[in-house]
Amino acid sequence: MENNLFNNVYDGKRVLVTGHTGFKGSWLSIWLKKIGAKVIGYSLESPTEPSMFKVCKLGTEITSIIGDIRDYSKLINVFKEYRPDIVFHLAAQPIVRISYKEPRETYETNIMGTVNVLEAARKVESVQAVVVITTDKCYENKEWIYGYRETDPMGGYDPYSSSKGCDELVVSAYRNSFYNKSGIALSSVRAGNVIGGGDWAKDRLIPDFIRAVSEDRSIVIRNPLATRPWQYILEPLSGYLWLGALMLQNKEKYSGGWNFGPKGTDVLNVQQILKLAVKNLEKGEIEIDRSIQPHEANLLKLDISKANTYLKWYPVYNVEKAVDNTMQWYKKYYEDSNENMYDYTMKQIGDYENEAKIHNLIWSE
């Protein structure tokens, strides 16, 4: 079965993943390894302790290079040495609240880091496609009840969100000015609030909840009614991988911006998602922080009709299954000291692939 996933495009391909030591980057690197890719990671050291990267001992499974995305000289040398076929750019400063404290670093990392990747990629002949991962927060959020479409304007209230809106403009400019002429495929992709095992980032809901439970204390939430498009980690990653495979086969048709969000029924508020987590773990207490907090959006949804129509991509798990899989991963980590978390992560990926095949999703055939 594995040999048929994503049209078997990645088997033997050299794939560069920036941000491979982060939560999403680690999961993506593991999945790429599973489907036969030769994975090269470029990133800073793991941003948290513990971390998905270290817990799964990913440094022994792929080529791992520690470096700053802002260091163009080092980055382009990596491109020249390893000559990737395709690049997934995830390296970023991804936390809204940190962006209020460190706006300059956020803009430098998120905007100039992307510029550096796009510059390096277009100067190395091996590169055929680049997928830049941004966020649903890149849109100019007007708190509309309908999902944002790829044609809606970019924006961003806070430094993090606006830096990602800028990222989208950078990608569009590079595609029009350079990539279309050189024949390299270039896309940007946006996902919702991603949950899954192995995330220990600060100021993210599920990691904050897991820390609170592991320390036998209540989780304090700032905005219980904030509504988000929650989705399991493998949902957007399947979209990224499928899009990347199609980009390698038809550069002109599949270059562009793409949303990979959950079903409309899986858009829940913060309090609702935490109640699912508490129910699954059968423990955990919730408190509400009523002090004044930095601005965060109250309502944010993605329209995924473009990916549905042109990529035939659809979510596999509903939000209940997403929470269940996430909690099961953390249970294994905290309660079973003998569990090999790399193997368990591989198992969760395999289960997801099998479920996609049952639903006859095109990328799993």
Within a domain: 11: yes
State the sign of the Cα–Cα–Cα–Cα dihedral 265, 162, 22, 274.
negative
Closest CA to 85 of 20, 41, 130: 130
| Residue 180 belongs to domain spanning | 7-192+232-261+301-316+339-359
Residue 2 pLDDT exceeds 70: no
Residues in CB range of 77: below 8 A, 6 or more apart: none
**Which of the listed ranges 127-131, 179-183, 275-279, 337-341 does the model predict with the highest average pLDDT?**
127-131
Contact of 35 with 54, CB cutoff 8 Å: no
Within a domain: 146: yes
Within a domain: 296: no
Q: Please state the three-class secondary structure of 205-272 as a single string.
A: HHHHHHHHHHCCCCEEECCCCCEEEEEECHHHHHHHHHHHHHHHHCHHHHCEEEEECCCHHHEEEHHH
| Collapsed DSSP state (helix, strand, coil) of residue 177 | helix
Residue 258 pLDDT exceeds 90: yes
Rounded to the nearest 10 degrees, how much is the dihedral formed by the CA atoms of 250, 253, 258, 261? -70
Total structural domains within the chain: 1
For the segment 359-365, the average pLDDT, to the nearest whole number, is 95
pLDDT of residue 292: 59
Cα–Cα distance, 109 to 258 (Å, whole number): 22
CATH (domain of 160): 3.40.50.720
Dmax over CA atoms of the chain, in Å, equals 57
pLDDT of residue 301: 87
pLDDT tens-digit readout, 51-96? 999 999 999 999 999 999 999 999 999 999 999 999 999 999 988 8
Mean pLDDT of the chain: 93
Peptide bond into 50 cis (omega under 30): yes
Within a domain: 281: no
Share of the chain above pLDDT 90, in %: 82
45: its two tokens: 């050291």
Within a domain: 31: yes
For the segment 99-108, the average pLDDT, to the nearest whole number, is 96
Residue 131 pLDDT exceeds 70: yes
Residue 151 pLDDT exceeds 70: yes
Rg over CA atoms, the chain: 19
119: left (phi over 0), alpha (psi -120 to 50) or beta: alpha
For the segment 257-271, the average pLDDT, to the nearest whole number, is 90
Cα–Cα distance, 239 to 312 (Å, whole number): 10
Contact of 130 with 237, CB cutoff 8 Å: no
Within a domain: 217: no
Within a domain: 154: yes
Contact of 141 with 157, CB cutoff 8 Å: yes
Per-residue pLDDT band for 1 (boundaries 50, 70, 90) equals: very low
pLDDT tens-digit readout, 295-334? 555 678 899 999 999 999 999 999 999 999 999 999 999 9
pLDDT of residue 88: 98
- Of 40-44, 134-138, 211-215, 225-229, which gets the smallest average pLDDT? 225-229
pLDDT tens-digit readout, 284-296? 888 887 775 665 5
Within a domain: 330: no
- Of 13-22, 136-145, 243-252, which gets the smallest average pLDDT? 136-145
Per-residue pLDDT band for 342 (boundaries 50, 70, 90) equals: very high
